[in-house]
Amino acid sequence: AADSLPDSPLYAVKLATERVQLALALSPESKARLHLSFAERRLWEVHTQAELGKSISPVALAGMRSETEQALAVIAKAPQPEAWRLLDSFMALTEKQQETLEELSAEVPPPVRETVAEAIEDVQEKRQEAAAIAKAAATSTPTPTETPSLTPTKKVATPTSAATPAPTATPTGTPTPVPTAKPKDTRTPMPTPTPAATPTLSPTATSTPEVVVPTPPIEEPTATPALSPTATSTPEVVVPTPPIEEPTATPALSPTSTPEV
């Protein structure tokens, strides 16, 4: 319903919702901003109808003018700080209204052109009224600034007597909070990090199981048995002296040379 146009069945619902929002607004500033928002919404409706080739609704134009007027009425009664902010928003909106309506006046048919021209004149009048409100507010604001300038002068006189509080040097005695030395006790808890000594997890040195070195000595005895049994090879005494058969050379009897006689 928020985007509905005046020729939509939901347009009435849209307007009713806006009335409820205004009724729930508590501060003048919130009400003024709602009126400004609704006036801008009416301007959007008029511009959208023109872009779609539809005839501009007099209801939308009248609604824009009404919301703009109500916004200015609330702004005129608003407190000074809020009034300045609202006037800025009001001038920005009415400038946009004037520019948009002037563009449309050259495109709409003659019957509607007169209605648009009236809306433009109304916007210009509201801008002049807003400028007058801003000027009046500007002239009224300097007066309060003069009154505060008087109060400081009185306060300046009083501080001179306040120089007597020089005895406030007593606060220097406040360093008695030397008991803050107790915090030094709090530092003693710092030794609590001694649990860091728990890193005696040096038992991790239990990795000493690497003393598996006992296995090497088992290999050393194996070397001794290998040598002693070789001594049993003495069976080489197989030197049977049978080669004594050499005495068989005796048959070489040299006496055979006797025949020379």
Split at pLDDT 50, 70, 90, the class of 82 is: confident
* Residue 252 CB coordination number (10 Å): 6
Question: For position 110, what pLDDT does the model report?
Answer: 82
For 34-57, what is the mean pLDDT? 93
Question: For position 186, what pLDDT does the model report?
Answer: 45
Split at pLDDT 50, 70, 90, the class of 112 is: confident
Q: List, as one string, the DSSP characters of 111-150.
A: HHHHHHHHHHHHHHHHHHHHHHHHHHHHHHTHHHHHHHHH
* Average model confidence (pLDDT) across the chain: 69
CA angle 82, 41, 57 (to 5 degrees): 140
Q: Rounded to an integer, what distance in angstroms lies between the CA atom of residue 171 and that of residue 20?
A: 62
The CA distances from residue 180 to 171, 186, 191, 249, in Å, are 16, 10, 19, 129
Question: For position 141, what pLDDT does the model report?
Answer: 56
Question: For position 59, what pLDDT does the model report?
Answer: 92
Amino acid, single-letter form, for residue 113: R
Helix ranges (H only) for 141-213 are: 142-161, 181-187
Contact by Cβ (8 Å): 170, 164: no
Split at pLDDT 50, 70, 90, the class of 2 is: confident
Q: Rounded to an integer, what distance in angstroms lies between the CA atom of residue 106 and that of residue 238?
A: 146
> In the chain, what percentage of residues exceed pLDDT 90?
36
Question: For position 173, what pLDDT does the model report?
Answer: 45
What's the pTM value of the predicted model, to 2 decimals?
0.53
Task: Give the 3-state DSSP-derived string for 82-102, with helices as H, strands as E and coil as C.
Answer: HHHHHHHHHHHHHHHHHHHHH
Split at pLDDT 50, 70, 90, the class of 140 is: low
Question: For position 171, what pLDDT does the model report?
Answer: 43
For 124-137, what is the mean pLDDT? 91
pLDDT at 158 over 80: no
Question: For position 84, what pLDDT does the model report?
Answer: 87
- pLDDT, one tens digit per residue, over 178-210 is 444 444 444 444 444 444 444 444 444 444 444
The b/e string for 116-148 (b: 16+ C-beta within 10 A; e otherwise) is beebbebbeebbebbeebbeebeeeeeeeeeee
